[in-house]
């Protein structure tokens, strides 16, 4: 199996090197056909770091945009260029467990499976916001085992060549693959680590953007992600309440509620404000 990997970054000077190193250290790296790294209007040292990697590793090719255009434009560029039997789309601020791509590739050997999602485990669990993020991702893991949710990194068969502008690209790709008659699955053994938001402001900014994007996707395609079903999410939380700190649970509920209210207003007024996401 030949694998094409697309990595997408904007101002990730403190994370992109670890991300690329974890990709180059994968158990099935011999099956990599190409690693295309896209920098979308980065103004920090991201461009220098990825150019240095390009010089050292023949598989890596960099695509640098001086002007910020948004992740979707870079993804569409990648989808046109990618020629592998398996396509990987990865955020530039995550670290892949050594066997992550191997685990992503396994379900895709089945004829009717078109896309695979991964389990996300935050790197840090120290501090209130890190604990809130850990709780939400742990809850999402339990949700995805029954109703797959896609984000951070996905692997899929080359069935999609273009997506529309939006702020939830992974779910949009899943919807297009589903329309072609293929299934999406979640593999909890395929693990990536991400960096949780450090402040309440950054947490709310991230969550409102995602919620707005999910509402927009539902309106355009009638695709409903499982986390839009608040009663289902609450039922999963209640069933697992014994393993969580109740104080952290209450904080998470308050912050998520605020984020969803703000995201709903964004959806009503101007969902496109989230197409170019800026960290607070």
pLDDT of residue 168: 87
pLDDT computed for residue 86 by the predictor: 96
Please write the tens of the pLDDT for every residue from 130-183: 999 999 999 999 999 999 999 999 999 999 999 988 888 999 999 999 999 999
pLDDT for 84-131, tens place per residue? 999 999 999 999 999 999 999 999 999 999 999 999 999 988 899 999
Structure tokens at 264: 């709903």
**Is residue 271 domain-resident?**
no
pLDDT in tens, 216-272: 999 988 789 999 998 999 999 999 999 999 999 999 999 999 999 999 999 999 877
Phi, psi dihedrals of residue 32, rounded to the nearest 5°:
-70, 130
Rounded distance between C-alpha atoms, residue 106 and residue 272, angstroms: 36
Judge whether 260 lies within some domain. no
Q: How many domains, in total, are found in the chain?
A: 1
By three-state DSSP, how is residue 22 classified? Answer: helix
Confidence (pLDDT) at 178: 94
Strand partners, 3: 32, 86
pLDDT at 203: 94
Q: List the CATH number of the domain containing 161.
A: 3.90.550.10
φ, ψ (nearest 5 deg) of residue 87: -110, 130
* Residue 237 domain-assigned (yes or no): no
Has residue 275 got a pLDDT over 80? no
The whole domain housing 171 covers 3-197
3-state SS, residue 130: helix
With respect to residue 277, please indicate whether it lies within any of the assigned structural domains: no
Confidence tier at 278 by pLDDT (50, 70, 90): low
Has residue 255 been placed in a domain? Answer: no
Q: Other C-beta atoms within 10 Å of 231: how many?
A: 7
Q: Is residue 12 part of a domain?
A: yes
73-87 pLDDT tens trace:
999 999 999 999 999
Tell me how far apart the alpha carbons of residues 17 and 49 are, in angstroms, rounded to a whole number: 7
Q: In angstroms, rounded to a whole number, what is the distance separating the alpha carbons of residues 10 and 47?
A: 9
Contact of 187 with 116, CB cutoff 8 Å: yes
Residue 119 lies in a domain: yes
- How far apart are the C-alpha atoms of 115 and 229, rounded to whole Å? 22
Q: What's the pLDDT at 125?
A: 82
Indicate whether 187 belongs to any domain: yes
């Amino acid at each position: 199996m030949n694998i094409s990997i697309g990595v997408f970054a904007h101002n990730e000077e403190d994370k992109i090197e670890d991300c690329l190193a974890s990709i180059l250290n994968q158990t099935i790296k011999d099956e990599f056909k190409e690693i295309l790294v896209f920098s979308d209007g980065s103004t920090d040292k991201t461009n220098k770091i990825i150019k240095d990697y390009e010089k050292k590793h023949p598989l890596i090719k960099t695509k640098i945009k001086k002007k910020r255009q948004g992740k979707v434009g870079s993804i569409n560029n990648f989808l046109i260029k990618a020629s592998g039997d398996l396509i990987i789309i990865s955020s530039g601020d995550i670290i892949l467990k050594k066997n992550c791509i191997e685990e992503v590739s396994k379900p895709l050997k089945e004829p009717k499976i078109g896309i695979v999602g991964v389990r996300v485990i935050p790197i840090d669990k120290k501090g209130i916001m890190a604990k809130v993020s850990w709780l939400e991702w742990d809850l999402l893991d339990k949700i995805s085992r029954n109703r797959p949710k896609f984000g951070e990194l996905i692997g899929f068969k080359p069935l999609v060549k273009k997506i529309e502008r939006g702020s939830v690209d992974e779910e949009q790709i899943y919807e297009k693959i589903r329309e072609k008659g293929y299934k999406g699955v979640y593999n909890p053994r395929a693990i990536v680590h991400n960096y949780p938001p450090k402040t309440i402001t950054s947490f709310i900014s991230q969550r409102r953007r995602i919620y707005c994007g999910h509402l927009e996707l539902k309106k355009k395609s009638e695709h409903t992600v499982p986390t839009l079903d608040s009663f289902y999410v609450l039922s999963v939380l209640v069933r697992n309440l014994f393993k969580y700190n109740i104080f952290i649970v209450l904080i998470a509920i308050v912050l998520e509620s605020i984020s969803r209210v703000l995201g709903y207003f964004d959806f009503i007024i101007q969902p496109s404000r989230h197409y170019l996401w800026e960290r607070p």
